[in-house]
Structure 1
């Protein structure tokens, strides 16, 4: 994007927020009301990538960029910072975190080593930004607004970097069995919910140790279920027999197995 295009986008946003002639909806928004749209647009970008739809990706990236511009405009109106400050800060951060490209640091051996260096630089930045009377934690900076599985994986990865990690995957698997047993023996709904949270947390750790992104894995699992369920509905509704909802569970299971077999046969 050229500087001219970015300036045009900023000018459009300023016009939408003009107190006299601006758009009533845009004028009614604030950081809190816009934040859900920002999260939604990020997920729509991820969906376009998963579908390998470049036309849709271009559109969704534009929508996500507009969210950045909107938040920046709100901040500028409040006297905090402007879009130019966001861009400048990003440029400085990228240069600072890539000393092997923009400085004289040695190049890492591979992508994993470079990721470790990136995290080391981030940790140093967090420590430098910490308040003198506040303890700096290895877990600082993991956003609470992240999807729960993603946040669990990031917290565990941070803890592992300072040595808080099972020495092998067998330990994680045993912990999962332990948490499932505690879930089974929970004494009430509140206790059961707490133990189920522990089950999911350890399951995310097990995924991480196997190199699996738990958030992506669950999205894929949900997509597979949706695809198979809709295929079952299509089978049930394609003939003269009863619709899917009218079938018994055993009859629905027969359709489920047919769909699974058809998927296996097509691969």
Structure 2
């Protein structure tokens, strides 16, 4: 009986030790995530979960050629040109996370290459399905998949303080505006912005596809109802337009009462009813 008691005690100690090691491993991974550097300096032009929940990353607008950094050390799992992402680089990190850097002008890291945190892996561009120079940045808890079911909000692993330091928005006015948008400053809330602009907070949420009141310094907010039409440019296809607005091809065909996917330059397409 005493031998059996000692055996149970030993098993309990071993399990406790294994549990302690696992907790330390998780804590170390969490610490590594908090040590991530920013992928680029610019301003946040779109956040995670917009476009009816289909936007699985954040967009950071910056000048063409601005340096793009790997957020942490890892191995380049993919480096290629995609019809949608344009020039894109995927990096698999030691903690099991995979990050994506899309619409690059240049790719400066090859598949299989080891990279360190803060290493330049590319430059900001406007390649693929993109409107304007920016970095589209994604974080996946595990491997990237086409369905992006492992995608998480990059703000979870890039702390708010780091995101604030990434923002390079001028502060010469109370609300920095560009065309029909404003950039969120530190201390702003959705309510305070709506009061200054004289619009309802629910309208702001609707125009920016927000399902919550949470906003971030540097975030770009539309301050008028977004355009619901698209004028076809030369070289565009209905498929590329559908991908850009994250709609299905059949949805655009039905909205515009088209017989097929043939379109022509200067044609006006409805995006919403």
Tell me if TM exceeds 0.5: no
Query: Is the strand fraction higher in 1 or 2?
Result: 2
Higher relative contact order (CA 8 A, sep 6+): 2
TM bucket, shorter chain: under 0.3
Query: TM-score, normalised on structure 1?
Result: 0.23
Query: Is the helix fraction higher in 1 or 2?
Result: 1
